[in-house]
Structure 1
Amino acid sequence: MTTESDITPSAADRHHPLLKLALELGPLLVFFFANLRGEWLVARFPALAELGGPLFVATGLFMGATILSLVVSKIMLGHLPIMPFVSGIVVLIFGSLSIWLQNETFIKMKPTIVNALFGFTLLGGLAFGKSLLGYVFNAAFQLDAEGWRKLTIRWGIFFLFLAVLNEVVWRNFSDNFWIAFKVWGTMPITIIFTMAQMPLVLKHSISTEAESEK
Structure 2
Amino acid sequence: MAEKTINPILKQVLELGPTVAFFLLYLRIKDDAFTIAGTEYTGFIIAALVFVPILLVAMGILWMLTGKLSRMQVFTAFMVIFFGGLTAYFNDERFFKMKTSIVYGVMAALLGIGLLRGQSYLQYVMEEFIPMQQEGWMIFTRRLCLGFAALAIANEVIWRTQSTETWVKLETFAFPIVLMVFIWVQVIGLQRYFIEDEKTATED
Q: TM-score range by the shorter chain?
A: 0.7 to 0.9
Distance 1:42 1:168, change over 3 A: closer
Distance 1:74 1:50, change over 3 A: farther
Q: Is the 8 A contact 1:27 1:69 kept in 2?
A: yes
199-208 or 67-76: bigger deviation: 199-208
1:11 to partner: Cα distance: 4.2
**1:81-130: per-residue Cα shift (whole Å, max 9, x none)?**
12121111101100110011101111010000000000010011111122
Alpha-carbon distance between aligned partners in 2 of 1:21 and 1:162, rounded to the nearest angstrom: 22
- Secondary structure at 2:57 match in 1: helix
78-87 or 103-112: bigger deviation: 78-87
Query: TM-score normalised to the size of structure 2?
Result: 0.87
**1:55-83: per-residue Cα shift (whole Å, max 9, x none)?**
11111111112111221121111111121
**1:159-184: per-residue Cα shift (whole Å, max 9, x none)?**
00110010111111111110011112
Select which of 50, 72, 76 maps to 1:83: 72
Counterpart residue number, 2:20:
29
Query: What amino acid does structure 2 have at the position aligned with 1:174?
Result: S
Alpha-carbon distance between aligned partners in 1 of 2:111 and 2:37, rounded to the nearest angstrom: 39
- Secondary structure at 2:48 match in 1: helix
Query: What amino acid does structure 1 have at the position aligned with 2:57?
Result: L
Select which of 4, 7, 11 maps to 1:20: 11
Aligned residue pair count: 199
Alpha-carbon distance between aligned partners in 1 of 2:103 and 2:86, rounded to the nearest angstrom: 16
Higher relative contact order (Cα pairs below 8 Å, separated by 6+ residues)? 1
Select which of 187, 196, 205 maps to 2:185: 196
Alpha-carbon distance between aligned partners in 2 of 1:49 and 1:38, rounded to the nearest angstrom: 19
Distance 1:180 1:39, change over 3 A: closer
Distance 1:166 1:40, change over 3 A: closer
Alpha-carbon distance between aligned partners in 2 of 1:94 and 1:132, rounded to the nearest angstrom: 26
Query: What amino acid does structure 2 have at the position aligned with 1:25?
Result: L
- Secondary structure at 1:52 match in 2: strand
- Secondary structure at 2:129 match in 1: coil
- Secondary structure at 2:12 match in 1: helix
Q: Is the 8 A contact 1:42 1:49 kept in 2?
A: no
1:23 to partner: Cα distance: 2.3
Counterpart residue number, 1:5:
none
Counterpart residue number, 1:106:
95
**1:110-152: per-residue Cα shift (whole Å, max 9, x none)?**
0000000000100111111221112322232111111111111
1:185 to partner: Cα distance: 1.1
Counterpart residue number, 2:202:
none
1:40 to partner: Cα distance: 9.2
Query: TM-score normalised to the size of structure 1?
Result: 0.83
Q: Is the 8 A contact 1:122 1:156 kept in 2?
A: yes
Q: Is the 8 A contact 2:87 2:95 kept in 1?
A: yes
Q: Does residue 55 in structure 1 map to residue 44 in structure 2?
A: yes
34-43 or 92-101: bigger deviation: 34-43
153-162 or 30-39: bigger deviation: 30-39
Q: Is the 8 A contact 2:33 2:40 kept in 1?
A: no
Alpha-carbon distance between aligned partners in 2 of 1:35 and 1:173, rounded to the nearest angstrom: 16
Give unmatched runs, 5+ long, in structure 1. 3-8
Alpha-carbon distance between aligned partners in 1 of 2:183 and 2:38, rounded to the nearest angstrom: 40
